[in-house]
Each structure stands twice: as structure tokens, then as C-alpha cells.
Amino acid sequence: MKVQCSTCGAELNRASWQVAKNRTGFFFCDSTCQATNPEYRARQSAAMTERFADPEERARQSAAIKAQFKNPERRAKRSATSKAMWSDPERRARMSASAQAMWSDPEHREKLRAIHQDPQYRVQQSEAIRVKWENPDYRLKQIAAATGRKYTPEARAKMSANAANRKPTWNPAIERIVEDDFIRYGLRKGVDFIPQAYLHSPADYPEEFSCRSDFLIIKLRKRIECNGKFHHADSRYYPDPEKWTAIQRHTVKCYTRKVRLYEHLGEQLIELWSPEDDRREELLIWPLVAELACLDFDFDALEADLVGDAR
């Protein structure tokens, strides 16, 4: 039988049983036409809203989905299907076009915005997240993903090298302030100091990795790290490691590895902690400026002048 696409009007071939079985009266060429038809979308939205307004129906659907994902074979099958679907460039392009058409509709965006601003919805989402994080397996899985432990050692080494070689696209406030102080006191960027100085472990070091220090004072071979009290778990404020967050544990682990490398290379580390930011000139800037001035000062000439005056 010949029918017309309800969106673009193209002529389609459908079997008689397909036409008889169709209860909506809509026919479409593909998913793009289906997603962009306002009448069909309004009808489907109204039907789904009415269906899920029933708490028992919502609970049944939620239980059915959870039961599916608890089955390892079913979960693996769905994962394989999803991967196969997204590996097809044409299918990806169609789904992308469908999503773009859907999000280009101001009515759809406004509807989602209203849903997310609903206090009841936000409370429900917050409670759902809390329940998830109470599950030890889920929590460990999320922490492993956040800290990169799901990657192979080769992949992690490659990511570390790429991150170290990438030009920093951000400049934290305290580091920017310290850099301005250095320049204000006459230190030359690239000559006296290097911000975000790259460092790679030498061949004789037991562990191969790359990192960056906040500043390197070139002539003194001193590394400066500007540490935040939360992320670096300042022991004065976070003395109990058992109470550290996953971010704190990960940051401290990476920072400790970097400090060990400094010690191996014989480079002195100067730490500026965020609670002492206001005393940075007293604790950091002035001692470094004085030490650099001593290096550049000609003591032999001074001694010769003093000897000449004494005679």
C-alpha cells in the first residue's frame, strides 16, 4: 500500500497489515521525521505523561529496568548492542540529527528547564543520588573512574605525558598573583623563573611519569608549589586521612609522588599554603629576591673596593 510520510510528505510503501495495525495514523520515513513531527511528539508526550503520572506504573517500570541491568548477560547484550549502534557512522549521524532537531525546539528546552527547576524533582534526584552513593560498590566504582584506575598503565602513562606537554589553559588566582609579584620585584619570566615548569622523571628513577611545578626558580633550582588547604589536605585543617574525600586522596597521592621526584633530583621545594597567601611576600617573595640578588652581586669587586679604601 502507498502511504505518505506525516512529516515530509514522501511516498512510502507499507504492507496492509502494517497499515491496519497502526493506531496513531502517523507514518514516517525515518527517526528524524518522527522526532521532528510536532503533532506526533505532542501526542506521545501526553500519553507518556498520563502513563507515568501513576506512581504504581512508575515503580513497575523502574523495577523492570533495574531487573534487566542486574542480569549480567542482559547487561552485556545491551552494552554490545549500544557499542555496535554507535560504531555505525550513518546511525550516529541520524541520531545526532534527531537530537539536534529535538533540542532546537524552544518548547522542548523550556519544558526540560521547568522540570529541572521543580523543587520536588530536585529533591527526588538528590535522594536518588544519595541512595546510589550509599552503595559501597557504586562508590568504589565512581572513585576508580574519577582517579583513572580504570585505565591500563600504558594508557595512564600516555595521558600523563599528554597532560604534562599540554599548554595550561587556566591560571589559578594565587599563582597569577605570585607571578605578578615576581615581575613587580624585577624577576624576569623565562629567565629568572618559569611558571608551570615541566618535569619528567630521569632514566635512573624507578617510576616514569611527568608533572609540572607551579614555579621553577631557574638559578636557585627551587620548585614552588601553591597548595590549597582543601585539595592538598592541609594537615592543620584535615589531620585525619580516614576522613579525606576521594579528591583529596588522589591529589595527595600525586603530590607526594611529585615531591619524591624533587628529592631524588636534589631540588628544594618551597610550599605556599593558601592560609598564608596574605603573607606570601614575607614567606616567599622577599627571601627569593634577596637570594637572587646575592647571586648577581659582585662580592670580589666589593672586597677590592674595601681593601683599597683601607689602604
Domains of the chain, by residue range, sit at 2-104, 167-302
- 192, 185 Cβ separation under 8 angstroms: no
Mean pLDDT in residue range 288-300: 72
> What pLDDT does 252 receive?
93
10 Å CB burial of residue 86 (0-12, 13-18, 19+) is exposed
Mean pLDDT in residue range 18-44: 84
Residue 302 pLDDT > 50: no
d(CA 145, CA 138): 11
Q: ∠ CA(197), CA(201), CA(205), 5° rounding?
A: 150
Residue 77 pLDDT > 80: yes
- 213, 225 Cβ separation under 8 angstroms: yes
Report yes or no on whether pTM surpasses 0.85.
no
The better pLDDT of the pair 136, 246 is held by 246
Mean pLDDT in residue range 58-79: 83
- pLDDT digit string, tens, across residues 249-282: 999 999 999 999 999 988 899 998 888 878 888 8
- Kindly write down the DSSP assignment for every residue of 69-91, as one continuous string: HHSHHHHHHHHHHHHHHHT-HHH
Q: pLDDT band at 301, cuts 50/70/90?
A: low
Q: Which residues pair with 268 in a beta bridge?
A: 222
d(CA 159, CA 165): 10
- 249, 256 Cβ separation under 8 angstroms: no
Mean pLDDT in residue range 194-199: 89
Instruction: Identify residue 171 by its one-letter amino acid code.
Output: N
Topology (CATH level 3) of domain 167-302? Endonuclease; Chain A (3.40.960)
- pLDDT digit string, tens, across residues 100-134: 888 888 888 888 888 877 877 777 887 888 888 78
d(CA 89, CA 87): 6
Mean pLDDT in residue range 288-307: 65
Q: What is the mean pLDDT of the chain?
A: 81
Mean pLDDT in residue range 135-146: 74
Write down the residue that cell numbers 521543580 correspond to.
118
Mean pLDDT in residue range 78-94: 83
d(CA 213, CA 269): 10
- pLDDT digit string, tens, across residues 208-241: 888 889 999 988 889 999 988 888 998 888 989 9
| DSSP-assigned letter for residue 284 | I
Q: pLDDT band at 169, cuts 50/70/90?
A: very low
